[in-house]
Structure formats: structure tokens, C-alpha cells
Structure 1
Amino acid sequence: MGQTPLTQLKRYDAETIAHYYRYRPWRAIWRALRVTGLFLGFILGLKWDDWQHQVEANKLRRAAQLRNILTVLGPTFIKVGQALSTRPDLIRQDFLDELVKLQDQLPPFPNEIAFRIIETQLDDTVDDIFAEISPDPIAAASLAQVYKARLHSGEIVAVKVQRPNLLPILTLDLLLMRWAASWLSPWLPLNLGHDLSLIVDEFGTKLFEEIDYLNEGRNAEKFAHNFRNDPTVKVPSIFWRYSTNRVLVLEWIDGLKLTDTDHIKQVGLDTDALIRIGVTAGLRQLLEYGFFHADPHPGNLFALAPSPSVNGSQAFPNARMAFIDFGMMDQLEESAKETLVDAVVHLINKDYLELAKDFVTLGFLTPDVDIHPIVPALESVLGDIMGESVRDFNFKTITDRFSELMYDYPFRIPAKFALIIRSLVTQEGLALTLNPNFKIVEIGYPYVARRLLTGESPALRRRLLEVLFKDGKFQWKRLENMIAIARSDSGFDLLPTAQLGFQFILSDEGRFLRQQLLLALTEDDRLHTEEVRRLWNLIKDDIKPARLFDAALGALVDFSTAGTAALLPSMASLEKRLLS
């Protein structure tokens, strides 16, 4: 590889990149000096302002200076700035206002170069490909710039053209980041830096995938297929005839940036509905499909006016959201999805031993670690995470509290979960921009509760049993809380859930639950009529007699004689307990 050009490198390979620059050490040295010099000058400027008591007077100038440094250093550092631009809880507002400009207010590269790339990639002239094309780019981002055009067939499209000479820039920065990660790891507390190099490698892998536009097109179509039945989520169509590795032509999206809150309110869009769409879509990506957008910054998400098909929706009456830029995606395995649901349930239920086991399963703790000393630490740090109620929970609090544990216990962040955490943190940051009082659990936990109560898979039904039973006893209060929280989601209908639950109880698979429910009703040698009454008061407004009859009838339609026979022993057990 010493003499092989970087243009032939199709996938990220740390060893190949290191071998390439081993023969060109002056490039790495010069780049390292440039990066260090720029940031050192910035830090010294901040210190000087502090010494001269000029922090307030110079804060806007320093914010602009930081944005300019990241812009000058190019795509890799711009990506870091983009992630920080969505964290109002971490970054001062003056810096935040500048970093937001990194989403699509970057300097474009010359049109002549962009049009030459289009013509070379598509083997045709720009005039023969497009009936019209904007004379200048509509937006310039870290890896590409976008033109608005019209095809000869009439469709309005976005033309995404990759910046020239990306590979030499990306590979050199990734090499230096990897070197810095290996140097920093020993200085970090315990295992915090254990996977730092792996995180850089994961980032590098995703960057290489992101600059392959055919891969991005395939990702977009897979994402669109997952949300095909959700009218509140829009994904642009891909025009494959005009797309290559470096040029992507896709449907034009007319929308508003989520950070443009004033404009969003002016056109009458419901900001809370937008938050609900974004958070629910994010949870579905992680917990249902396992295929998630790993770069949901404000330049990649747009608010749309409602379409006629959405106007009558009860859940999202006045908003839609468009996702674009599917270069940075990742896939979560089925086992990891299930464990994430477990972790949420165990956190909500304060089962810290099981939560520690979840961390082992997910790779945050190694299998050989003794988790028993960690359990009290989890309880002390996360024990009051809910505050007065579950709705006081938020992801920022979790990350802040969890970072405390990193200093004292051997936690580490698996490379794959670095992207997930970044995605979740970014989405919560966007939600906080739309509504500073937003709590992610107000949408997130009703979603998890609804999925558990619906129990559409054996794995979720097992998790529901785990929630409802502890130490062999039925947890009446948990069921009440779960139903109450699920009902706080206006899209949740209790009747279909009740019907599914009834069918499950009557099935062979539900034999254990059937027996346990009968035992729960007579637990501690008494009928639990008070608990049943509270549950009925909770749900009676949702269950009208006619609908209740229809639901029960529907559940019994397929209930066989064998099923009835299976139910009788449980009834006999209940009669025996009542008579004893």
C-alpha cells in the first residue's frame, strides 16, 4: 500500500492507512502541528479573556473563532462541531449559535469543480441531465454540497455532490485521532479509554460508508420501507439512474429546520407533536427495526406541513418530519434490542442487579467483572433518577450520572453504542431546542409500556411477565403505573391490548401467567378486590360495554375446547384456595 493511491481504498482500514502514511510522515506531522496550533491559540485566547476580565465582551468573537477553526480543519472536525451544536446543556448559548452554522452554512467549493464531478460521474453534460439546476449550491455541508434541479421528466430533485479530495483529509485525521486515542487512554479513569481506539475505528468505518452514495441510497430505501406505514415520517425517493458513489440525486424536500423554532411556530406547526414524532421514530429505529440514523443533527431533519392523510390523525394532528442524509446508519442485533428494553424496564423498576447484568450483556462491563460491588453504586447514582415521578427522568441526567460511575468502576463504552448514545443525545438536544421543558420519558416510557402491554412477540411477553412479577409476587402497582403511563400516549388504544392480553392468557403459552394471576388474586389469603377496583377505575373510561363485549368475543373466537380444558385446572386451583 506504500505506493497505492488512497482513491483505491473503498473501506476504512486502520492498518492500511497507517502503512500509507508511514511512507509520508511529513504529512501527519504537519497536520498534527496545524491542529495543535489552532486549538492552542483558541485556548490561550480564552485564558487571556479571563485574565483581562473580558470574557463577556469577547464571547461572541471567541464563538466565531471556534467555528472558523473547525471549518478550516475540515470534515472530521466539522462532524465534532455538529454533534456539539445539538447540546444546549453542554455548550454555552453563544458557542451553540455559532456551531449550529456548521450544519449547512459552510463555504462551498467552486461550481465548476462540482459540475465537472457530476459530468464525470454520470458521463453526460449537466444540460443533458437536468432541465434546470441552481447556479449556486443551496447548502454546503461537511462532506458535500447540494443543488436544486429539475429533471427533463419534470421532477424537482436535490443533487448531492461530494467534496473533492475527501479521502486524503479523512484518512489523515482518522490516523491522528487514533494516535491521540491510544495516547489518551492511559490517562483516563479505569476503563473509560479502553475502547477509545475502537470508537475511532467505528467512526472511521461510518465515515467511509457515508461517502459512498450508493450505500446511502440503499440505506434510504431500507429506512423508508421500515416507516412505510407511518405518514408522519417522510423519506425522499432516490433517482438511481442519476446516482453514483459520488453523486446522489433524490427527491427535493421543502421543509423547515427544527432549530428554526420561530418559523415553525409562524406556520402553525405543533412543536410538541414534532418532538413526539422524532422521539418515537428514534425509539422505533432502535427497539423495533434495529436500523437507526446515527447522525440526526438539525441539518438532516426537517419539519413539514401536514399532508391531507395526516390531518385526521389523533396522534400527530399537525406535523410531519422528513429524514435526509442516510450515509451514517448502523444495525443493532436482535439480542441487543431486547437487552435495551430489559435495561429500560430494570431502570424504571429499580432492579439494579439485573441492570448490572444488562450492562455486561451489552458490553459496558466485561463478563469477568464482579458486578456485586457495582450494584449499590448503581442504586446510589441512579436511585433518585426519577425524581418525584417517572416523568422527571431524562437522558441528559442519565448520561451525567453515569459518567460519575466511570471514575470509580470499570465501565467502558462499546464502539457501537458510542453511535447510539450520540444519536439519543442529539435527538434529546433537538427536542430541548423545540421545548426546553421536554422530558424524553413522557414519550419514551409510554412507548416502551405500550410495546410491553401489546406483547406482539414472545420476547416482549416474557419481559412483561418480568415487570409484573417480582420474587414470585404479582406487582399490582406496576401494572397500574404501566397502564397509566401507556394511556398518556394519545395513540394508545387499550381495547386491542386487552384483547391481545386475553388471548394470551387463554393460550398454552399463557399457562404460567394464568396460574400466577389466579394466585395473585388470592395472595396472602385474601381476595385482592381493592387492587382490581383501582385497575377498573383506571381503565373504565376507555372501555365501553359494547367495545368490551366485542373485544372479549374476538379473543374467544379461536379459543378451542383444548384451551378450555387447559383453563379448568387453574380454575380448580382457585376454588381450592378459596375454600381452604
Structure 2
Amino acid sequence: MRHYNAAAIAQHYRYRPWRALWRAFRIVWLFAIFVIGLKWDEWQGQSNAYKTTRAVQLRKTLTQLGPTFIKVGQALSTRPDLIRKDFLEELVKLQDQLPPFPTPHAIAIIETELDRSIDEIFSYFSPSPVAAASLGQVYQAKLRTGEEVAVKVQRPHLRPNITLDLYLMRWAATWIAPWLPLNLGHDLTLIVDEFGTKLFEEIDYLNEGRNAEKFAANFQDDPTVKVPSIYWRYSSSHVLTLEWINGFKLTDTQRVKEAGLNTNSLIEIGVRSGLRQLLEFGFFHADPHPGNLFAMPDGRMAYIDFGMMDQLSQDTKETLVDSVVHLINRDYNELAKDFVKLGFLTPETDINPIIPALESVLGNAIGESVGDFNFKTITDQFSELMFDYPFRVPAKFALIIRSLVTQEGLALSLNPNFKIVEIAYPYVAQRLLTGESPELRRRLIEVLFKDGKFQWQRLENLIAIARSNNENFDILPTAQLGLQYLLSDEGRFLQRQVILALVEDDRLHTEEVQRLWNLIKDDLKPSRLMHAALGALADFSAEGAAALLPSVAMFPLFQSQKFQDSKTN
């Protein structure tokens, strides 16, 4: 099987029940030994004395059980806020310190897959792997043409082992789901299927190479993100040859400091690149653990594993942006509708009783300041919410949630005081202010207007926050886009709304305009301002001018009428 097929796998093991039973017995037996050991330590009052022993035992148990369980351990290894320190130190070793398989076997696989001898391809090939992961191991080598490369070789008999674990996981999901304190129901099997689909994609190295090139194309304008080049001539479905990356794991804080790198800058690169993947490209890395992310001496961040990726539709990306905007604005009614669109709630669900629950949970999680937001806090709070209301986790979002949780956990290992929204909110603000698409313009208007009134403070906050996170943020292109939009047919409604905002509450809002001017005046030098205005007006038609002039002409009349009305009242 080249692709995951739950029905075909079930059919295969239905006629081989002894294999499934023996594997299930082994899994239960190994975990039972571990749990009994923990309880015995508690009963004897020696938990502290044996905590290192138990941590090693857990790592070895996961290693013995193979790739599927190693993946679970890798995810847990990025959560210092969930896993106690002694366990964490051992689980981190699952990222690239697993027992390797013999190098002669790896060489045989390379020669069979590439149909040539190892000496024909490489002038140097490391005698032992530099890293061993759950699905394969990596060798450092040099091509005959002189390029330094990393050679990934897949573990033997990987596909049969994974299919058996997936079969057992899916079988267990059907029995466990009704007993869980979450309203996951039948969706648990869909989550297993999503995981299985991605795992099968991950063990196809040609697919990984294509993913790497697509990822590199997305970030070609970002000098802070590095993606290794793929050497297709020396790659196959079981062997992948790619550019060697000189760097070190993000969690190696000692080497980060020795290299003079700023941990906060690395966190910002990681979170911003993660947000771009989800909200801008829709093509995201679903397994960003420290073994797959490297800091480079020049300050860049390198992604080196592209096996587990996923693609979001345009509608999903837009709804995710909507949900962030609604969360920032504390618009829980619209946020509930976003959950319906994303599949967390069914269309027939009555959202009215859910809205106050969302306000209670998310309001407490965010606190007085949006900077207090923490994804871990949100997930904890939602566990209770999913118990009381018919929320479910769509299969597609299992990987997204895993990616977000993993990235936040990685950032927490570099900075325990990290708050994801301190970077996410400025990114969203800058994205809204600089977006050229009609969808982003609509979302910006949605942010700036509430109940038909212009929110001066929100515009000030957006500009201030966008600039706080990017010293090079330039408001002028945004102003030019805004002027072009105002002069377009699409912007006619906004023309009137802006005029109304300026004379709202029977007064000219000169103070708000002055505050905005003080905020942006350094960017709007006369020469640049004139150039931007001419650019915006370049395609402006006479019909557009005629449509705009009545609105402008009506401004003093409108203000005069309001003044007369106020005198009459």
C-alpha cells in the first residue's frame, strides 16, 4: 500500500487476528509495567529517588513500541508546561537520539533504491548516522560533485509496523470514544484516519521532497527562514538527499548563547513563520518539534523535515483570520459562527447558549490584556467547554492544534514567560493593514467599525502594535491602498462611513485625527505623501471622482444640519 486505506488495513488484519492480539498484548504489558512501577514508588514513598529511573523507563518503553509511540513522545517532549522536568529530559532524546539500525543495511537500501554503488555517488559517507529518528536515520556525506549533503534512509519494514499500530489505534478509538469526557464521538476514528494519512505521506520521501520545495517557494521572500535544497538525482521513496544544514537545535540554549543569538528573535521567527503557514499560505508544517527546527549561526531558522504537512482551503484560511479578529475584538457571537464554519460545531447547533460560555472561558483566558493570552490556557479551558457543549474536533484540525501546541511548547522551552499573542496579534495587525485582497480589506473594516461606529482607538492600536513588532513597518503603502479603496466602487459605503466618523456625536473628531497624525507623521513626508497620492489617483476615473464629490460636498451641509438639529432639540 502506497496510501493509507483504513478499510484495506482492517481487511488484512481481520484474517490475521493473532498478529493484532499479540501486538495489543505487548502494548498493554509494557505500559502496565511502567504504571505499576510508578505506583510502587508512591506506595514506598520513594518517588523522588526513582524519578530518573522511571523517566528512562518511559523513553525505553516508547522506543520499544516503535514509530507510532515515538511520535507521541516527540509531541510530549515539546511541552515543558505539561511534562515534569525529569520525563522531559528523556523524551527530548526521542527526537534524534533513537537506536539506529545497522549502517550496512542503510547502504544496501541506498544502493538498491538509487541503482548504483555508494562509492559512485559519494566521495565521503559517514560511518555511522549523525541522527536516528522514528522513521529513518541521517548520514552526513559529500557528493562526488563536492556538495555537502544529508542522506535520509528509511527504516526497514516500516510500513507493515505502522499499519498494525494504526489498525489497533482505530479499533481502540471506536471503543474508547463513548467513555471519554469530551464530545469527540465518532470523530476519534476520523482523527486516527487523518493521522494515518499523514503518516503514510511522511514515509514517502519523494512526497517530502516536493513538500520541501513548495515550502521554500512560500518563504522565498523571507530571509530569516532557510529550507535545504533537494538533490532529486540521488533521492527515491526510501532515500532522500538534501543540502546539509550547519546549525543546532533550538532547545540547545547553551549553543544558542555561545553563538550570540537572541532567543526572543528565534521565537519570533518561529511563531511568525507558523502564522504565515496557517493564515497566509495554508500549507503548514504539522510536526515542528526541536529535532526538525535548527538555529543557524547567522540567526536564521532552518526547517529540515517536511514529511508531515497539510493544506488548508482558502475558506478555512479566511475563517481562521476571522476567528482571530473576533477573538481580539471579543465578538463572541461571530466567534461562535466561526466555530460552525470550521466544523467544531454542526450547522444545526443552537449557538445562543454557547455564546456566553465562550465569553466566560475566553474572557478569563485573555484577562485584562490581550497579551495575557496563552494557547495552553485556552486548551485547558476548552476541555471543560467541550464536556458541556456539543463541540467536536474536526480531523483536519487535529494536526493544526498539534502544530500550535508544539510551537508554543518549543517557545516556552526558550522563554518560560512567552505569550503567543504578543507575536500573533502584531502579525495579524500588520497583515490586516497591509493586505491587498478584498477579503483582508473587509476584515479590516470589520475591525474598525462596531455597531456602525468607527473605532478610532482600534486603528491607533493596530498601527502601534504593528509597528512595535516591526521597526521597518511602513504605513505609507497602507495609506495608498486605503486611498485607492476609498476611490473604488467597492469603497463607496466606506466613504460615507468615514465622513460620519469624523462628525460623530455632534462634534469634529479633531483630537482623534491629531493622535493618528502624531502616530504616522514620520512616515508621511510631503514628497512621499505626494508620490503615494499620485499613485492612488493614477487609475481613478472621472466617474469615480463624480461619485466621490457629492459625498465630500455634503460634508459641510451634513455638519450644518446636525448643528441645526442639536439647536432644535
Q: Is the TM-score greater than 0.5?
A: yes
Aligned partners of 2:205 and 2:240 also within 8 Å: yes
User: For residues 502-541 of structure 1, what are the structure 2 equivalents within 5 Å?
Assistant: 502-541=483-522
Matched, 1:451 2:431: yes
Matched, 1:558 2:539: yes
- What is the CA-CA distance between 1:433 and the residue it aligns to? 1.2
Aligned residue for 1:311?
A: none
Aligned residue for 1:106?
A: 98
2:318 partner SS: helix
Match of 2:152 among 156, 160, 180: 160
- What is the CA-CA distance between 1:577 and the residue it aligns to? 1.2
CA distance in 1, matches of 2:381, 2:366: 12
Report the more deviating stretch, 545-554 or 497-506: 545-554
- What is the CA-CA distance between 1:214 and the residue it aligns to? 0.7
The one-letter amino acid paired with 2:306 is F
User: For residues 111-190 of structure 1, what are the structure 2 equivalents within 5 Å?
Assistant: 111-189=103-181
- What is the CA-CA distance between 1:163 and the residue it aligns to? 0.1
The one-letter amino acid paired with 1:54 is Q
Aligned residue for 1:402?
A: 382
Aligned partners of 1:468 and 1:475 also within 8 Å: yes
The one-letter amino acid paired with 2:477 is P
2:223 partner SS: coil
Aligned residue for 1:52?
A: 44
1:370 partner SS: coil
Aligned partners of 2:502 and 2:508 also within 8 Å: yes
The one-letter amino acid paired with 1:558 is D
Aligned partners of 1:184 and 1:193 also within 8 Å: no
Aligned residue for 1:250?
A: 242
Matched, 1:352 2:332: yes
User: For residues 81-480 of structure 1, what are the structure 2 equivalents within 5 Å?
Assistant: 81-189=73-181, 191-306=183-298, 319-480=299-460
CA distance in 2, matches of 1:181, 1:542: 57
CA distance in 1, matches of 2:178, 2:252: 42
CA distance in 2, matches of 1:412, 1:263: 42
2:388 partner SS: coil
- What is the CA-CA distance between 1:572 and the residue it aligns to? 2.6
- What is the CA-CA distance between 1:505 and the residue it aligns to? 1.5
The one-letter amino acid paired with 2:385 is L
1:192 partner SS: coil
Aligned residue for 1:6?
A: none
CA distance in 2, matches of 1:579, 1:384: 46
The one-letter amino acid paired with 2:242 is L
- What is the CA-CA distance between 1:551 and the residue it aligns to? 2.9
The one-letter amino acid paired with 1:537 is N
Runs of at least 4 residues of structure 1 off by over 6 A?
none
Matched, 1:487 2:479: no
2:221 partner SS: coil
Report the more deviating stretch, 565-574 or 451-460: 565-574
Normalised TM-score (structure 1): 0.95
Aligned residue for 2:565?
A: none
Match of 2:528 among 547, 553, 558: 547
The one-letter amino acid paired with 1:469 is F
Match of 2:13 among 8, 21, 37: 21
1:146 partner SS: strand
CA distance in 1, matches of 2:265, 2:530: 33
The one-letter amino acid paired with 1:77 is F
1:149 partner SS: strand
Aligned residue for 2:25?
A: 33
The one-letter amino acid paired with 1:548 is L
- What is the CA-CA distance between 1:555 and the residue it aligns to? 2.5
- What is the CA-CA distance between 1:525 and the residue it aligns to? 2.1
1:439 partner SS: coil
Q: Where do 5+ consecutive residues of structure 1 fail to align?
A: 1-8, 307-318
From the superposition, tell whether residues 190 and 280 of structure 1 become closer, same or farther in structure 2 (CA, over 3 Å): closer
Q: Deviations over 1:325-354 (max 9, x none)?
A: 111110000000000000000011011010
CA distance in 2, matches of 1:70, 1:573: 73
CA distance in 1, matches of 2:360, 2:201: 41
CA distance in 1, matches of 2:441, 2:216: 28
Q: Deviations over 1:150-179 (max 9, x none)?
A: 111111111100000011110110011111
2:49 partner SS: helix
The one-letter amino acid paired with 2:314 is E
CA distance in 1, matches of 2:476, 2:384: 43
Give the aligned CA root-mean-square deviation in angstroms. Answer: 1.3
The one-letter amino acid paired with 2:41 is D
1:161 partner SS: strand
CA distance in 2, matches of 1:120, 1:417: 38
Normalised TM-score (structure 2): 0.96
CA distance in 2, matches of 1:515, 1:241: 61
CA distance in 1, matches of 2:527, 2:373: 38
Aligned partners of 1:294 and 1:420 also within 8 Å: yes
Q: Deviations over 1:457-512 (max 9, x none)?
A: 00011111111111211122221221221111224222221222122112222111
CA distance in 1, matches of 2:481, 2:517: 18
Aligned partners of 1:191 and 1:411 also within 8 Å: yes
The one-letter amino acid paired with 1:377 is A
The one-letter amino acid paired with 1:373 is P
Q: Deviations over 1:284-316 (max 9, x none)?
A: 11111111111111111100122xxxxxxxxxx
1:322 partner SS: strand
Aligned residue for 2:566?
A: none
From the superposition, tell whether residues 190 and 126 of structure 1 become closer, same or farther in structure 2 (CA, over 3 Å): closer
CA distance in 2, matches of 1:551, 1:305: 39
Aligned partners of 1:194 and 1:412 also within 8 Å: no
1:56 partner SS: coil
1:383 partner SS: helix
Aligned partners of 1:189 and 1:408 also within 8 Å: no
CA distance in 1, matches of 2:161, 2:87: 25
> How many residue pairs end up in the alignment?
560
2:39 partner SS: helix
1:565 partner SS: helix
Aligned residue for 1:5?
A: none
CA distance in 1, matches of 2:479, 2:53: 60
2:417 partner SS: coil
Aligned partners of 1:162 and 1:211 also within 8 Å: yes
Aligned partners of 2:100 and 2:132 also within 8 Å: yes
Q: Deviations over 1:437-472 (max 9, x none)?
A: 111112111111111111310001111111111121
Match of 2:69 among 62, 77, 100: 77
The one-letter amino acid paired with 1:564 is A
The one-letter amino acid paired with 1:385 is A
CA distance in 1, matches of 2:143, 2:256: 30
CA distance in 2, matches of 1:234, 1:193: 41
Aligned partners of 2:182 and 2:383 also within 8 Å: no
Identity rate of aligned residues, in percent? 74
From the superposition, tell whether residues 219 and 542 of structure 1 become closer, same or farther in structure 2 (CA, over 3 Å): same
CA distance in 1, matches of 2:180, 2:380: 17
Q: Deviations over 1:245-290 (max 9, x none)?
A: 1011111111110010110111111211111111111111111111
Aligned residue for 1:310?
A: none
